[in-house]
Amino acid sequence: MDLSSTRILVSNDDGIHAPGLKIMEKIARSLSKDVWVVAPETEQSASGHSLTLTVPLRVRKASARKFAVNGTPTDCVLLAVNHIMRDFRPDLVLSGVNAGGNLGEDVTYSGTVAAAMEAALLGIPAIALSQVRKNGSPVRWSTAEHHGADIVRRLTGQGWPENVLMNANFPDIPHDNIKGVRATRQ
């Protein structure tokens, strides 16, 4: 995938004002000039793959190509693809950077992973990115920020089957202590 001409949708579960979303926007903008953001108005951590059914969804335009939704991460991706970006769907969805890891059973609860899952179900390649932190320690955002674009490039360069999402977790260590990448299965 040639990322320079790729339309990227960025979302998350930590909300439109989350520090990890700002990092994800930086990562996406380092890859493409065509970046859109559609994220929850408020934190939706552990919302899983839920939809909002009992209240009307509202979309607030925060700026050009940046929108906040009063719903879940799944709602955000659905509204982005089927409404906000309906005439020019995204080529790639990046979700995160989540404040905390999404490993093991955590992925079943994760709104960050759910946003990527919804994109994959819609036939759009998707990657969830999370920054692991230990026992409530401060989040080491620089690790994800420093290595995020390279991980996205490497994954999109290899490709993967349709309806499959990728889930990347950055360890809770300084970015210059990273020795490599390990691919595993869920």
Per-residue pLDDT at 137: 87
* CB contact at 8 A, 37 and 77: no
What is the chain's pLDDT, residue by residue, as a tens digit (186 residues)? 889 999 999 999 999 999 999 999 999 999 999 999 999 999 999 888 999 999 999 999 999 999 999 999 999 999 999 999 999 999 999 999 999 999 999 999 999 999 999 999 999 999 999 999 988 789 999 999 999 999 999 999 999 999 999 999 999 998 999 898 888 877
CA–CA gap between residue 107 and residue 120 (Å, rounded): 15
Name the pTM for this structure: 0.96
